[in-house]
Amino acid sequence: MSYRPGRHFLQIPGPTNVPDRVLRAMDGPTIDHRGPDFQALGKRVLSGIRTIFQTKHPVIIYPASGTGAWEAALVNTLSPGDLVLMYETGHFASLWKKLAERLDLKTEFIGGDWRHGADPAAIGERLAADTAHTIKAVCVVHNETSTGCVSPIADVRKAIDAANHPALLMVDTISSLGSIDYRHDEWGVDVTVGGSQKGLMLPPGLSFNALSEKAIEASKSSRLPKSYWAWDEMLPANANGFFPYTPATNLLYGLDAAIEMLHEEGLDNVFARHQRHGAATRAAVAAWGLDVLCVEPKHHSGSLTAVLMPGEKGADALRKTILERFDMSLGAGLSKVADKIFRIGHLGDFNDLMLVGTLGGVEMGLRIAGVRHEAGGVEAAMEVLASATEGQAQQAAE
């Protein structure tokens, strides 16, 4: 391959760009994971990660992908044959369902159209009908990475409570943690699943289970097999800053730096930045005369935007053109929406100027690939970004 000047634009919705500060932190030498230096690191990251989940309860860190954290959430709390209620928000909700079935759990899927987040009323209605309380857990994806739709978790919690149902609430935040406001304790979530490679600005390789007291209590009677994922092995070791098996030390160095960076910016500012970038991207899409996959404004994501292709062109051909001409990767459509959409990731270590460059690459790609569209998407996005900047300056002056 010939040399390509400049940096590759990795604009898939995860893994995201890893900032230099995190990369430099990971450059540190691997240390004794039973020694005092590691213990100090372990205590720091185990405490710090709680602040990102907005919880006072334990957060377990695994050397694994987010899929591992899905499995850990289920095997630690449930028993063979238990019924789990899940909501079809997209590809990843469907994968979580498939994983549950492989674990000898029964699943019930509330069907969705992949263009909305989960409907709390439908969840509440199903739970209210379950007078025998056969449903043991409700599983919802907070930000569905395949569609760009956010589910209202606080409202799901209210629906569960209104039905007076004891089911555990489990939530996937893999593409929302550290980018979209999420409150484990306040929203009454029992197990929150997370991953390192998106809003946390790390490479893939760490995953998380944030727990509630109810979840920990449920784990004491769970009968699904587990060893690597077992909370009862993790929690005592974590209390002293250690792990029951060899941890991913250098990724923990990076996590330590990432937590610092998120708090230096301020979580509220992080969430506002992602909202601004989502709004600007949707303004560009509208100006191009294209449609966003997520049709409900209150479900729009700050992490990514999924864009529907006009009928005569495939999304994969456009993505190929943009990669070859501008060295920029966009997310593919998955399963039901394969070749029908492309996904623009705007999460993690990302700023206004990077977004303008990203949208410029998309607009040029649309033109080169002969995709029917209107010009002016980048300008529309810049108007949103400029207005937000002016508003922030005015607030600061006041």
Kind plus residue range of the DSSP H or E element containing 284: helix 267-288
Rounded Cα gap, residues 48 and 35, in angstroms: 20
Burial of 280 (0-12, 13-18, 19+ CB in 10 A): buried
- Provide the token pair at 190: 């029992």
Kind plus residue range of the DSSP H or E element containing 325: helix 315-326
319 is in an annotated binding site: no
Rounded Cα gap, residues 161 and 65, in angstroms: 31
Task: State the number of CA atoms in the 13 A half-sphere of 18 facing the CB.
Answer: 16
Helix and strand totals (H; E) in the chain: 13, 14
Neighbouring-strand partners of residue 291? 308
Neighbouring-strand partners of residue 61? 208
Q: Using the 8-state DSSP alphabet, how is residue 300 labeled?
A: B
Dmax (CA) of the chain: 65
CA 216 remoteness from chain centre: 23
Rounded Cα gap, residues 32 and 106, in angstroms: 43
Cβ distance 87 to 123 under 8 Å?
A: yes
Strand ranges (DSSP E) for the chain?
A: 9-11, 59-63, 83-87, 106-110, 135-141, 143-144, 149-150, 168-172, 191-195, 206-211, 291-292, 304-308, 328-332, 341-345
3-state DSSP assignment of residue 223: coil
* Annotated binding-site residue numbers for substrate: 343
